[in-house]
Amino acid sequence: MARDIPIGNGSLLVAFDRSYRIRDLYFPHVGKFNHTLGHVQRFGVWADGQFAWVDDASWTRSLRYRPDTLVTDVLLMNPALGVELRCQDAVDFHEPALIRKCVVRDLQGRERDVRLFYHYDLSIEETPVGDTTNYDPATAGLVLYKGDSFFMVNGCDERKCGIDHWATGQKRLGAAEGTWRDAEDGTLGRNAISQGSVDATIGFNLRVPAGGDSHVTTWLACGATYDGVSRLSRQIFERTPERYLARTEAYWRLWARRVSGEAQGLPQAVSDLFTRSQLIMRTQIDNGGAIIAANDSDITHFSGDHYSYCWPRDGALVAASLVRADQSELSRAFFRYAARVVNKNGYFLHKYTPSERLASSWHPWAIDGEAVLPIQQDETALVLWALRKHFESFHDVEFLKPLYNPLIIRPAEWMLAYRDKNGLPRPSWDLWEERRGIHTFTVASVIGALRAAQRFAQDLGDADHTRRYQQGADEMAAALRRHLWSEKDRRFARMAKVNPDGSYTLDMTCDSANFALFAFGALAPDDPMVEADLGAAFERLWVKTPIGGVARYENDYYHQVDKDDTARVPGNPWIICTLWKAQWLIAKAKKLADLREPLEILQWAASRALGSGVLAEQLDPHSGAPLSVSPLTWSHATVVMVVMDYIEKDASLRRAGAGKDFNEAPVFV
């Protein structure tokens, strides 16, 4: 189930599902720990003797954000209960605190007895063993804690502060379902403390006037000590939680103001997605610099692992989009993080935790008894390439100085050494993390990285390295044309497998990842070989259903929906792959009319977002429903990159007078 509305501040991330239930709560890092383990945190309403949890079919829901903010705007209506709820949720922009305001309005024209129930099913530090939850009489709130993680729950209504009733108890042990069941009769048992595998529910009593409304504002304060969360909770109470909501909304509007102006003149849906994508990206970026691929714990049911890690490749491509959007502090933080985790020999391993530890991996260290590097070489190359994009935009020499050796010289020297006799990179894993060989995507990214290293060395007067990196890039570009191009197929291979005699066997499966041929500067976007390859690839990989979009590659198995008609549905449509087509069309555009199709693709992306603006990794090719993780940080980063490409190309073509103007935005069908 998608995470429709993530909110966060870089240390605390909270994600709601489409039923408006909290499913993931990460602290103190984005991506670590997930203190819910994906379990449902319930929210329910009792009204004059009737009860419904918010996921009940009797509710209608609209889950959105307030414009240009990371404050939610949720509307819930329940005709059976006769109430409407307007909810605002925010993680304070500065403090590790979740603030939730709920305004309840009567729909029956009579005074109402309404009670709101908030359920907390935490597995603190990602295990339910040894948790404690207790009522705190000093604050009239509940505390849940273990180890270095403490959470205090409290709230205020229109009359007072402090919870009206509560329940603590055991969960998922024997017949114990959890304290949420206790709420369904409208009252809670007030057990003062529970220990072990426990949960907690709090309740607030409201008198809602006929045709009028009443409200409750709750908060969850997070910290490393009991005193710390008590102090933060007291601070929220004294300053009022509404003030925290207001200041967070003001902060994000100020943050978004500098980015939203870039997309003026584009169709409103595209402009909105451009701004929203940057806000959603920010929720997935840890304050320590790690750019997390996705924080959606539902994927663990599919793979037994999650996406809450920093892949250097994803991080580099997201950082490059942040550079394009002028988010220099975020990109700087990522490159500093990268310099702290890179191997001493100059390459990155598979992925890392936000706390800078090596993460889980399925890349082996030995194959057939022979030691191999468990790497995806494009990850190393793209960090160097993205760092050059950052420097060209901001020219921050002092920032660059400590990164020159760990992120430029050592990686470039390693890439030069890690080549075969033909000048191509030696085998590694592909960007899809499925195949080991010599990949067109990897070759193109290494060429881009060596050219970036060449320019860095030239800037710093390092003539020897300048010459060596330029020569290495040129030799690799020539080897790309010579060894990975199939004249018979008029396409580049997606991969070459090395035979025992050193020759190559080409895998000619059509793969959208060949967009890398131009994207990192290996070849020109209008090079005849690139034109032939990508023209055929994007045509063959287009999903020929009403949903549309581009699949990763032919007969893509990952979350595959349609296995019987791969000519019509070569795979599920991916947001990034579809936008790669737009990026290529923009790069080779010669006149304004050439920008019509890329704009249609951007409109397609906007139409495939959830109502909140969240983009998934991939879509069901028949229903358009989100598949795999959602949001995927890379999807939103690619939106930002393509919009910036479009804006800059449109401006340059208009300056050059290249073709007839078109001001009317096309409607994508």
Task: Give the CA-trace dihedral at 487, 584, 471, 485, to 10 degrees.
Answer: -10
In a domain, 209, yes or no: yes
CB 586 within 8 A of CB 561: no
- Tell me: pLDDT of 302 over 80: no
One-character DSSP codes across 32-91:
EEETTTT--B-EEEEETTEEEETTSTT-EEEEEE-TTSS-EEEEEEETTTTEEEEEEEEE
- Tell me: pLDDT of 666 over 60: no
Report pLDDT for 261.
Answer: 63
Give the residue ranges of DSSP H helices in 192-311. 226-239, 241-260, 268-283, 300-303
**Mean pLDDT of all residues in the chain?**
96
Are both 11 and 115 inside the same structural domain? yes
Task: Grade residue 665 by pLDDT with cuts at 50, 70 and 90.
Answer: very low
Task: Give the CA-trace dihedral at 192, 100, 222, 615, to 10 degrees.
Answer: 130
Task: Grade residue 259 by pLDDT with cuts at 50, 70 and 90.
Answer: low
Report pLDDT for 667.
Answer: 39
Report pLDDT for 161.
Answer: 93
In a domain, 434, yes or no: yes
* Domain CATH for 458: 1.50.10.10
Task: Give the CA-trace dihedral at 600, 603, 605, 609, to 10 degrees.
Answer: -160
* Domain CATH for 102: 2.70.98.10
In a domain, 612, yes or no: yes
Report pLDDT for 93.
Answer: 98
Are both 518 and 563 inside the same structural domain? no
How far from chain centre, in Å, is Cα 408?
Answer: 27
Are both 246 and 299 inside the same structural domain? no
In a domain, 665, yes or no: no
Distance CA 572, CA 588 (A): 26
Number of independent structural domains in the chain = 3
Rg of the chain over Cα atoms, rounded to whole angstroms, equals 27
In a domain, 326, yes or no: no
Express each pLDDT in 618-645 by its tens digit: 999 999 999 999 999 999 999 999 999 9
Express each pLDDT in 304-349 by its tens digit: 899 999 999 999 999 999 999 999 999 999 999 999 999 999 999 9
Domain range holding 212?
Answer: 3-254
- Asked which of 5-9, 230-234, 660-664 is least confident by mean pLDDT, the reply is 660-664
The pLDDT of 51-61, averaged and rounded, is 98
SS3 labels along 319-363? HHHHHHCCCHHHHHHHHHHHHHHCCCCCCCCCCECCCCCECCCCC
Q: What percent of the chain has pLDDT over 70?
A: 97
Report pLDDT for 176.
Answer: 87
- Tell me: pLDDT of 104 over 50: yes
Report pLDDT for 178.
Answer: 94
Among 507, 529, 551, the domain-final residue is 529
Question: In 3D, which of 612, 608, 607 has the Cα closest to residue 67?
Answer: 612
In a domain, 328, yes or no: no
Among 529, 557, 584, the domain-final residue is 529
Report pLDDT for 166.
Answer: 97
Distance CA 347, CA 350 (A): 10
CB atoms within 10 A of CB 73: 17
Are both 503 and 550 inside the same structural domain? no
CB atoms within 10 A of CB 259: 18
Are both 169 and 285 inside the same structural domain? no
Are both 521 and 546 inside the same structural domain? no
Express each pLDDT in 350-393 by its tens digit: 999 999 999 999 999 999 999 999 999 999 999 999 999 999 99
Are both 209 and 272 inside the same structural domain? no
Query: Which are the contacts of 218, defined by CB distance < 8 A and separation ≥ 6?
Result: 99, 100, 102, 118, 153, 154, 155, 202, 204, 241
Report pLDDT for 303.
Answer: 78
Helices (H) and strands (E) in the chain, counts: 16, 30
Name the DSSP letter for residue 250: H
Task: Grade residue 664 by pLDDT with cuts at 50, 70 and 90.
Answer: very low
The pLDDT of 575-603, averaged and rounded, is 98
Give the residue ranges of DSSP H helices in 522-619. 528-540, 575-587, 596-607
Sheet holding 112-120, edge to edge: 50-53, 43-47, 112-120, 198-208, 165-170
Task: Give the CA-trace dihedral at 24, 28, 31, 37, to 10 degrees.
Answer: -40
In a domain, 669, yes or no: no
Distance CA 646, CA 655 (A): 14
Are both 485 and 581 inside the same structural domain? no
- Tell me: pLDDT of 260 over 80: no
Among 529, 555, 579, the domain-final residue is 529
Are both 491 and 565 inside the same structural domain? no
User: Which helix (H) or strand (E) is 99 found in, with range?
Assistant: strand 97-106
Express each pLDDT in 169-212 by its tens digit: 999 998 889 999 999 999 999 999 999 999 999 999 999 999 99
Report pLDDT for 264.
Answer: 73
- Tell me: pLDDT of 267 over 80: yes
Are both 343 and 394 inside the same structural domain? yes
Are both 170 and 289 inside the same structural domain? no
Identify the burial level of 595 via C-beta atoms within 10 angstroms of its C-beta, where 0-12 means exposed, 13-18 middle and 19 or more buried: buried
Are both 364 and 423 inside the same structural domain? yes
Q: Which residue has better confidence, 260 or 481?
A: 481
Report pLDDT for 257.
Answer: 84
In a domain, 414, yes or no: yes
Spell out where 493-570 has E strands: 495-498, 504-507, 550-551
